[in-house]
Amino acid sequence: EDKVVQSPLSLVVHEGDTVTLNCSYEVTNFRSLLWYKQEKKAPTFLFMLTSSGIEKKSGRLSSILDKKELFSILNITATQTGDSAVYLCAVPAIRDDKIIFGKGTRLHILP
């Protein structure tokens, strides 16, 4: 069965800390892995990863994919209170035309 597992489920750190969020997956015919940030309502797109070992960066956020070990990490450096959100990992399952989401990691940044 296709699945996406995120860890940790929740994380509380202080402003300025660096955090690493994990996403492992088991999906037939893997094409891509996506990270979303969900603050209040609509998840917003962060990264799409398709190739192993190539880091994607956007400001203080970066992400990398390991297709051999079937996981991805999302790093956030010098965290700010505005980074508090739920971070979702998703993988399209081409066979069933579904996009499978993990449960998310709820990140809370303390001032």
Closer by beta carbon to another protein, 50 or else 77? 50
Q: Report the nearest approach of another protein to the CB of residue 100 (Å).
A: 8
Structure tokens at 85: 């959100």
Q: Report the nearest approach of another protein to the CB of residue 59 (Å).
A: 19
Structure tokens at 49: 């990863």
Closer by beta carbon to another protein, 18 or else 44? 44
Between CA 22 and CA 30 the distance in angstroms is 18
Q: Are 55 and 111 in contact (CB under 8 A)?
A: no
**Chain contacts with another protein (rule: CB under 8 A):** 4, 31-32, 34, 36, 41-45, 48, 50, 88, 90-92, 94, 96-104
Closer by beta carbon to another protein, 45 or else 108? 45
Q: Report the nearest approach of another protein to the CB of residue 68 (Å).
A: 21
Sign of CA dihedral 67, 71, 72, 73: negative
Q: Report the nearest approach of another protein to the CB of residue 29 (Å).
A: 10
